[in-house]
Amino acid sequence: VESSIPEHMREAWKKFSPKGFTTKDEFESEAVKHIETTLARSLFNCDELAAYSGTALAFRDRLIIDWNKTQQRQSFADQKRLYYLSLEFLMGRALDNAMLNVGLKNVAKDGLADLGFRIEDIIAQEHDAALGNGGLGRLAACFLDSMATLNYAAWGYGLRYRYGIFKQEIQDGYQVEIPDYWLDFNPWEFPRHDVSVDVQFYGWVNKYTNDEGKQIVSWQDGEIVTATAYDVPVPGYGTPTVNNLRLWSSKASSGEFDFAKFNSGEYESAVADEQRAETISAVLYPNDNLERGKELRLKQQYFWCAASLHDIVRRFKKSKRKWSEFSDQVAIQLNDTHPTLAIVELQRILVDMEGLGWDEAWTIVTSTFGYTNHTVLPEALEKWSVPLIQNLLPRHLQIIYEINLQFLQSVEKRFPKDRDLLGRVSIIEESQPKMVRMAYLAIIGSHKVNGVAELHSDLIKTTIFKDFVKVYGPDKFTNVTNGITPRRWLHQANPRLSELIASKIGSYEFLKDLTLLNKLEPFVDDKEFKKEWAEIKYANKVRLAQHIQTTKGYSVNPKALFDIQVKRIHEYKRQQLNIFGVIHRYMAIKSMSPEERKKLVPRVSVFGGKAAPGYWMAKTIIHLINKVGEVVNKDPDVGDLLKVVFLEDYNVSKAEIIVPASDISEHISTAGTEASGTSNMKFVLNGGMIIGTLDGANIEITREIGEQNIFLFGNLSEDVEDLRHHHFYGDYKVNPELVKVFDCIKKGTFGDEGAFGALISGIVEHGDYYLVSDDFNSYCQTQDLIDEAYKDQDAWVTKSITSVARMGFFTSDRCINEYADTIWNIEPLDVAEEKEVRART
């Protein structure tokens, strides 16, 4: 391509193409230029927001240079690429991350100081990119970070929601949802109006034989919506690689938008058509681990899958390769079942549009896709009703039926005597109405299926997918334990700890090879080091205490034990167990003599997390936490011994303040319900201890850091089924200590007792599905052990350092390398040359 451009033109481009700043003065010059020209502001009206904007634009320019080069390099290298399809990318803020990744945060800090600003205040101006609910969306963001850092040619594909996850306020103890309109000023996205795909809905299928006797299938008379690409640069740490996250935005197609209507004065209905199209990418569904079967959600899924697949196929076709080479060039990973229609869409493209035979196409499809399962909770497993799909995507329904037919025929051949098996593995559930089981379709259309932690990957093989293990054998199913990026969750969130670690092990290399943390172990008895370690934790607690002071208006003692549970509010995550434990502690304090109270370890119980707007029980839990806080926090008998804090609007940027400040964090799901959990990793990496059940990645964390460094409690996953059975059919009694807690609530200690009735009756009368009562004793006893352990600060710090030293396994870099080796079959691009060029200039 390059040689087709005349020499003199190339020279001119080279001469003037921007190089990007490296010094403080250059940074200031770029930032001021943007403030005065791009933003049309001046020294006299440059507030912090303008300073943020100028800084962001200066760094954005730098990223774009590397981004363009990366994309050219990847096209030129012509290697296989990975496409990560996710309906959620919970990115958080970009500026701090960009500054650290290009190694110029200190330059910016000094430059901003010259201009009269503190860098922390400037960073805090940025609105979180909150295009996700919780763990699944944040995992996707960590994966993008690792893929760029490791120089993989990898793209993310998602939706550009106009509204991200709602903002949460607490009013009178209740959650109130505020819309999160975040696109007012977003310097991190680039509209690509030249990159668009027309996506079809509804219509009908016409099958006929053409003049050459060939079967033609055409899907016609549908409604067309246009997908426009918005690209977001994803920089790697300490590497010239900047990958691409492509988000699709919906608008009425220009062919569709009805000018005839407009001209004849039917403005309202013309505008209504336009709005209907824009609604598709308007809002993120705020459910975590729950599917509700709404048509608009299905529209979102197809819109995004179709746009992404056509984009990928278009790129492949430019290479002029044979179709049989498709899966040598393309790997697609499905983040949960949300993008399962991509399987059907690729089959449709190959068969209906490109004219391949069914079998040839299906071989390509199945060697292209991989599917990651993130949950075993039945209410989260996607099913779409057949009539709904029939209406919205008539051709896709036919293809799904054909996939199912062929699959069932192959099963029947191999297991001719097992009629029941066919019904159990069928993609179609024979209910009223019939339902399409998306997980089954995802399994059948993929070459690998993985769970996200060892226990979880075992569970899917023995429970929800066990029939498929029988059909395909065990090798189709594998485990890739989740990980987190140490760049954001250690270096960015906890710069002092990162610096201390670097000073001990000699460099910041551990940020790229987290196993190097094990070099800390020899220092566990180093007095000076331990002192600094403890000081950093304390400083982080002081910072959180300040945050609590400014947002809640009261003070907490940073010397107290900080006990933190922040995550989506869900019954299976058992925030109710935590708050019942807090009430139990409160009652104990009330019944003590002043002398006894003196021996107690003061504690601050911090909660945070959003409830899905329609999840009534989760909202009740939030309400109870807030009401308990109101009573406990002003009780003079209690004072500093116990404070209960509900932090509003938990999100990625708040997590960066909260996570480094914990002494103990809670990961207390009913065993077998939390697929992995990833905040558990974040907390331990920041020197916090864990109280947890033997669930998800807690099990592997325990194996790595050692049983003496974690506080485990509760029943095991293998016993859950029997316990539940016993609740219904045995002589089941609620734990007596828990009954006292319930009596305390029922007395009205925390206000209107009726408000919490359902929470109590769920346990006392309706079978205690999440085994709160069964685990209550063990939980409280373990909390007492924690108090004891915390009194020995020296031993506590030893545990803390030892744990961090053994956390190397939980980096998302390891995780991405495993996906690359065992599922995607891709290798990193060589950027050595690029690095050298850069070092020379």
Shortest separation between residue 334's beta carbon and ligand Z15, angstroms: 12
Structure tokens at 490: 């250690």
Using CB under 6 A, count the residues that bind ligand Z15.
19
Shortest separation between residue 156's beta carbon and ligand Z15, angstroms: 15
Shortest separation between residue 83's beta carbon and ligand Z15, angstroms: 18
Shortest separation between residue 573's beta carbon and ligand Z15, angstroms: 8
Q: Which CB atom, from 382 or from 663, has the smaller least distance to ligand Z15?
A: 382
Instruction: Give the one residue of 119, 123, 136, 544 binding ligand Z15; rule: CB under 6 A.
Output: 136
Site for ligand Z15 in 454-483 (CB under 6 A): 482
Q: Which CB atom, from 387 or from 614, has the smaller least distance to ligand Z15?
A: 614
Q: Which CB atom, from 235 or from 696, has the smaller least distance to ligand Z15?
A: 696
Quote the CA–CA distance of 407 and 411 in Å, as a whole number: 6
Q: What is the DSSP string of 515-570?
A: GGGGGGGGGTT-HHHHHHHHHHHHHHHHHHHHHHHHHHS----TTSEEEEEES---
Instruction: Give the one residue of 125, 243, 244, 289 binding ligand Z15; rule: CB under 6 A.
Output: 289
Closest CA to 404 of 352, 349, 347: 347
For this structure, is 693 an active site residue?
no
- Asked whether position 374 contacts ligand Z15 by CB under 6 A, the answer is yes
Residue 499: Cβ within 10 Å count: 14
Instruction: Give the one residue of 558, 677, 714, 808 binding ligand Z15; rule: CB under 6 A.
Output: 677
Instruction: Give the one residue of 281, 678, 735, 749 binding ligand Z15; rule: CB under 6 A.
Output: 678
Q: Which CB atom, from 291 or from 775, has the smaller least distance to ligand Z15?
A: 291
In terms of phi and psi (left: phi > 0; alpha: psi -120 to 50; beta: otherwise), the region of 41 is beta
CA 591 and chain centroid, separation: 43
Quote the CA–CA distance of 287 and 282 in Å, as a whole number: 15
- Residues facing residue 711 across a β-bridge: 691
Instruction: Give the one residue of 28, 126, 288, 571 binding ligand Z15; rule: CB under 6 A.
Output: 288
- Asked whether position 561 contacts ligand Z15 by CB under 6 A, the answer is no
Q: Which CB atom, from 485 or from 676, has the smaller least distance to ligand Z15?
A: 676
For this structure, is 81 an active site residue?
no
- Asked whether position 370 contacts ligand Z15 by CB under 6 A, the answer is no
Q: Which one of the spans 130-138, 194-202, 461-469, 765-773 is the region binding ligand Z15 (CB under 6 A)?
A: 130-138
Contacts of 325 (CB under 8 A, 6+ apart): none
* Catalytic residue from among 73, 541, 567, 585: 567
Q: Which CB atom, from 104 or from 136, has the smaller least distance to ligand Z15?
A: 136
C-alpha neighbours within 13 Å on the C-beta side of residue 104: 23
Instruction: Give the one residue of 168, 244, 375, 670 binding ligand Z15; rule: CB under 6 A.
Output: 375
Site for ligand Z15 in 334-363 (CB under 6 A): 336
Shortest separation between residue 436's beta carbon and ligand Z15, angstroms: 17
In degrees rounded to 5, what are phi and psi of residue 393? -135, 65
In degrees rounded to 5, what are phi and psi of residue 211? -60, -30
Contact between residue 392 and residue 201 where contact means Cβ atoms under 8 Å apart: yes
Q: Which one of the spans 90-98, 134-142, 168-176, 471-479 is the region binding ligand Z15 (CB under 6 A)?
A: 134-142
Q: Which one of the spans 110-118, 426-434, 464-472, 674-682 is the region binding ligand Z15 (CB under 6 A)?
A: 674-682
CA 720 and chain centroid, separation: 27
Instruction: Give the one residue of 676, 698, 715, 735 binding ligand Z15; rule: CB under 6 A.
Output: 676
Quote the CA–CA distance of 775 and 135 in Å, as a whole number: 24
For this structure, is 567 an active site residue?
yes
**Residue 625: C-alpha distances to residues 271, 436, 679 (Å):** 45, 39, 21
Q: Which one of the spans 160-168, 278-286, 491-499, 673-681 is the region binding ligand Z15 (CB under 6 A)?
A: 673-681
For this structure, is 682 an active site residue?
yes
Closest CA to 611 of 287, 169, 131: 287
Instruction: Give the one residue of 28, 96, 656, 674 binding ligand Z15; rule: CB under 6 A.
Output: 674
Q: Which one of the spans 237-245, 676-684, 755-763, 813-821 is the region binding ligand Z15 (CB under 6 A)?
A: 676-684
Shortest separation between residue 138's beta carbon and ligand Z15, angstroms: 8
Q: Which CB atom, from 292 or from 531, has the smaller least distance to ligand Z15?
A: 292
* Catalytic residue from among 568, 574, 603, 643: 568
* Catalytic residue from among 374, 461, 491, 584: 374
Closest CA to 95 of 68, 130, 128, 131: 128
- Per-residue string for binding with ligand Z15, 644-663, x by CB under 6 A? --------------------
Shortest separation between residue 89's beta carbon and ligand Z15, angstroms: 12
Shortest separation between residue 342's beta carbon and ligand Z15, angstroms: 17
Cis status, amide bond into 433, omega within 30 of 0: yes
Contact between residue 776 and residue 737 where contact means Cβ atoms under 8 Å apart: yes
Q: Which CB atom, from 224 or from 464, has the smaller least distance to ligand Z15?
A: 464
Shortest separation between residue 121's beta carbon and ligand Z15, angstroms: 32
E strand or H helix at 692, and its extent?
A: strand 689-692
Contact between residue 838 and residue 20 where contact means Cβ atoms under 8 Å apart: no
Q: Which one of the spans 133-141, 171-179, 204-212, 252-260 is the region binding ligand Z15 (CB under 6 A)?
A: 133-141
* Catalytic residue from among 24, 461, 623, 682: 682
E strand or H helix at 82, and its extent?
A: strand 81-85
Quote the CA–CA distance of 166 and 248 in Å, as a whole number: 20
Structure tokens at 744: 């305390």
For this structure, is 261 an active site residue?
no
Q: Which CB atom, from 135 or from 286, has the smaller least distance to ligand Z15?
A: 135
Q: Where are the beta strands (DSSP E) in 548-656?
A: 561-566, 603-608, 642-647
- Asked whether position 675 contacts ligand Z15 by CB under 6 A, the answer is yes
Q: Which residue is nearest to ligand Z15 (CB)?
A: 135
- Asked whether position 632 contacts ligand Z15 by CB under 6 A, the answer is no
Instruction: Give the one residue of 135, 235, 240, 688 binding ligand Z15; rule: CB under 6 A.
Output: 135
Q: Which CB atom, from 411 or from 449, has the smaller least distance to ligand Z15?
A: 449
CA 99 and chain centroid, separation: 22
Contact between residue 218 and residue 257 where contact means Cβ atoms under 8 Å apart: no
Q: Which CB atom, from 175 or from 676, has the smaller least distance to ligand Z15?
A: 676
Contacts of 3 (CB under 8 A, 6+ apart): none
* Catalytic residue from among 149, 372, 620, 678: 678
* SS (HEC) of 450-500: EECCHHHHHHHHHCCCHHHHHHHCHHHEEECCCCECHHHHHHHCCHHHHHH
Contact between residue 691 and residue 698 where contact means Cβ atoms under 8 Å apart: no
Q: Which residues are catalytic?
A: 374, 567-568, 573, 678, 682
Q: Which spans of this chain sit near ligand Z15 (rule: CB under 6 A)?
A: 133-136, 139, 288-289, 336, 374-375, 380, 452, 482, 674-678, 696
